[in-house]
Amino acid sequence: MPQTFAFDIYGTLIDTAGVTRSLATMVGDQATLFSSRWRDKQLEYSFRRGLMRDYVDFSVCTRQALEFTSAQLNLPISDTAAQALLDEYRRLPAFVDVPTALQQLKSAGHRLYAFSNGLPDDLEALLETAGIRHAFVDIVSVHEIRTFKPDPAVYRHFLTRSGATADGCCLVSSNPFDLLGGKAIGMRTAWIRRSDANHFDPWDRRPDLTFASLSELQQAFSE
């Protein structure tokens, strides 16, 4: 039966490690560590902002996390280089399995939405550059209500915007914190576990489904 899917973007459909190649020209063999720390701090800042009710948009969290990571690792990056990295966040690549899986889900009659912490304009640019914008009915951004995942208000806002019910919607994410947020309001959840090194939080809630790739999810919903 056709249903609504809410797809997280960063880390689920779009490979945030795509900046590592650019970082390698700036910080050498520290690029992988730098990229990972930057991503972790970016999310930490969004969590803090959400709890404090002190909203700034996700691009600010991203920029401030970059500044912090550069200072913490003692790896100076020029203002010009920093801006180049921030610009690259608008043109990161999709994971290789994503375009075909999304197209097949859409062709099967499912309603696909992009659902993200990112700014609407940034997400439009990102998905267009990755060649997958056409797969989505719409983009739902947390910016519309000025808070961040996993605030329950974000997931309720998605249901309002999409017209879906919690039990008729599947939240797809590689981020456990995101899935726990959706689960808290009764959404169905599918974890994309892209690496065996990824582990789910040992809470009393688990994802309804777990897949190693988007291709596996697509196959499961095409049977």
Task: Write out the catalytic residue numbers.
Answer: 8
47 contacts 147 by C-beta, under 8 angstroms = no
Phi-psi region of 164 (alpha: psi -120 to 50; beta: other; left: phi over 0): beta
What whole-number distance in Å separates Cα of residue 6 and Cα of residue 118?
A: 14
What whole-number distance in Å separates Cα of residue 100 and Cα of residue 98?
A: 6
131 contacts 94 by C-beta, under 8 angstroms = yes
Q: Report the interhelical angle of 20-27 vs 31-52 (nearest 10°).
A: 120
